[in-house]
Amino acid sequence: MLRMISFNKLFWKIFFAFWITLILIVVLTAFITDHIVRLGPDSPIASFVLGDAAHKRWRDRRRPPPPKEMRMPMPEDSAERPFRPFKGVRPFFKKPHHRGPPPGLKWLSVIVSLVVTGLMSYFLSAYLVRPIQRVRAATNKLSSGDLSVRVAPTAGERKDELGGLSKDFDKMAARIETMVSSQKRMLRDVSHELRTPLARLQVALELARAKSQNAAKEEFDRIEYESQCLNHLIGQILELVRLEQREWVLTKTSVNIRELIEHIVEDADFEASKQGKKVVLASAIDCTVDINEELIGSSIENIVRNAVTYTAEDTTVEVTLEKISDDGDKIKISVLDHGVGVPNEALPHLFEPFFKVRSKQAKGQTSYGIGLAIAERAVRLHNGDVIAKNNKPNGLVVTIVIPLG
């Protein structure tokens, strides 16, 4: 039982509240009883507390008073009396000598009552707190994205409100799981289905080109371009849905990360040159990492491509690769652009799909699409991290950190 609960605040609150209450009950009862006994059956309180019948029995049972000379001398003078902190109140357990138990037994009864009440409080608080802790742990897991978490398997059969809470939690989690997964399934199915007409559209377009001898070339090219965008977007949505599946199994190979980045930079530089921009690998180390080459490759590509889009004309996107070692060896890939950057308050949302930034400098809205979201999910699958920061004096720097192992 000890290792099953952690002694958190709630545990101690319940424990002490219950324990102190029990101790107070024991102590006060002892004190009041003691007081009444000391006052004797003739006091008006005795008849008030005990009721008439019991009071009468007590008076009748009373032994005849002992002979005068055997009585304890009762000091009349207040100066000779023992010290009493409260007038008319005797120390709690100090019953009159002729009735009380031997003095040692009194301390024993104090210890026994402390231990018994302590144990009871312990079990009670454990009994109350444990299920709450289980639900709490499950809630944490749920909020971090594990929708398959359930409390019932660890909670056992409890029929009370706390058992009900566990069951309600499970019901809620199951419902959320169904809702989210059905939504994802729908997104996936819709995306798949969109491809069927898109595939037909592309063939029909080529037929139109051929039959009209490409009479409206510009318009045909535009239709082709737009349908490619649509296709690309559908592909990205499917990729994101796939990456968010929990049962993903990564197939990793040993990859020379420097070469991978060199290839990406080369390709990106070629495309950027059409817009008067550049991409360079500013510095790099030689290093091999165990990764899924395709996933990490497309992550870096997405981030570099994003940087090329937002960097200002006639500027250069700089990519660096270095090794860092804070708790274990990691590689750090940074992509720096010279654009207007992103408002600080928007930075944490940059990796949400289709996040839009409103900025004064860029005049209007900028959509970051879905590429960064995919990149982030892919890096997370490698237990890595993606961080976006504004660079001084201008631009955005996106950093990927991946453990070497």
Partner 1 sequence: MSSILLVDDDVEFCQLLKEFFELEDMEVQFAHDGASGIDAILAGGSDVVVLDIMMPPPNGIEVLKAVRETSTIPIIMLTARGEDVDRIIGLELGADDYLPKPCNPRELLARIRALLRRTQSQSASGGAVLSVDNITLNAANRTINVNGTLIELTSTQFDVLKELMKNAGSVISKEQLTETVLGRKLEPFDRSLDMHVSNIRKVLFRVTGKQYIKTVRNVGYQFIVGVA
DSSP line for 293-323: HHHHHHHHHHHHHHHHHHSPTT-EEEEEEEE
Residue span binding partner 1 (CB under 8 A) among the ranges 70-78, 163-171, 206-214, 386-394: 206-214
Residue span binding partner 1 (CB under 8 A) among the ranges 69-77, 100-108, 110-118, 260-268: 260-268
How many angstroms separate the CA atoms of 303 and 309, rounded?
Answer: 10
Quick check: 234 and 198 in contact, CB under 8 A?
A: yes
Nearer to partner 1, 151 or 260 (CB): 260
Quick check: 370 and 354 in contact, CB under 8 A?
A: yes
Nearer to partner 1, 5 or 194 (CB): 194
Residue span binding partner 1 (CB under 8 A) among the ranges 35-43, 138-146, 162-170, 262-270: 262-270
How many angstroms separate the CA atoms of 151 and 164, rounded?
Answer: 11
How many angstroms separate the CA atoms of 2 and 279, rounded?
Answer: 59
Q: Which of residues 350-379 bind partner 1 (CB under 8 A)?
A: none
200 binds partner 1 (CB under 8 A): yes
256 binds partner 1 (CB under 8 A): yes
Q: Give min distance, CB of 361 to partner 1, in A.
A: 33
202 binds partner 1 (CB under 8 A): yes
Q: Which of residues 76-95 bind partner 1 (CB under 8 A)?
A: none
Q: Give min distance, CB of 201 to partner 1, in A.
A: 8
Mapping DSSP to helix (H, G, I), strand (E, B) and coil, where does residue 282 land? strand
Which of 146, 160, 189, 206: binder of partner 1 (CB under 8 A)?
206
Local structure of residue 108 (DSSP, 8 states): H
Q: Give min distance, CB of 197 to partner 1, in A.
A: 9
Residue span binding partner 1 (CB under 8 A) among the ranges 140-148, 196-204, 338-346, 389-397: 196-204
204 binds partner 1 (CB under 8 A): yes
CA 168 from chain centre, in angstroms, equals: 19
Helix 103-143 vs helix 161-211: angle between axes, to the nearest 10 degrees?
10
Q: Give min distance, CB of 347 to partner 1, in A.
A: 28
Nearer to partner 1, 224 or 290 (CB): 224
Mapping DSSP to helix (H, G, I), strand (E, B) and coil, where does residue 40 land? coil
Q: Which of residues 3-62 bind partner 1 (CB under 8 A)?
A: none
Q: Give min distance, CB of 250 to partner 1, in A.
A: 12
Nearer to partner 1, 117 or 236 (CB): 236
278-283 and 356-359 strand pairing: unpaired
Which of 207, 215, 216, 324: binder of partner 1 (CB under 8 A)?
207
Residue span binding partner 1 (CB under 8 A) among the ranges 24-32, 297-305, 353-361, 383-391: 297-305
For residue 304, list its beta bridge partners.
Answer: none
- Asked if residue 41 has a cis previous peptide bond (ω within 30° of 0), the answer is no
316-325 and 278-283 strand pairing: parallel
Cα separation values, 190 from 148, 223, 229, 238, 241, Å: 24, 22, 17, 10, 12
Residue carrying the six token digits 């080369």? 266
Residue span binding partner 1 (CB under 8 A) among the ranges 86-94, 205-213, 306-314, 327-335: 205-213
259 binds partner 1 (CB under 8 A): yes
Site mask, partner 1, residues 216-245, x = CB under 8 A?
Answer: --------x--x---x--xx--xx--x---
Which residues have C-beta within 8 Å of that of residue 138, sequence separation ≥ 6? Answer: 149, 150, 151, 169, 173
298 binds partner 1 (CB under 8 A): yes
Q: Is the dihedral of CA 167, 168, 169, 172 positive or negative?
A: positive
Nearer to partner 1, 168 or 266 (CB): 266
Nearer to partner 1, 190 or 204 (CB): 204
269 binds partner 1 (CB under 8 A): no
198 binds partner 1 (CB under 8 A): yes
Quick check: 124 and 14 in contact, CB under 8 A?
A: yes
Instruction: Give me the phi and psi of 128, to 5 degrees please.
Output: -80, -40
CA atoms within 13 A on the CB side of 70: 5
Residue carrying the six token digits 């037994």? 105
Residues binding partner 1 (CB under 8 A)? 192, 195-196, 198-204, 206-207, 210-211, 224, 227, 231, 234-235, 238-239, 242, 256, 259, 263-264, 267, 293-294, 297-298, 301
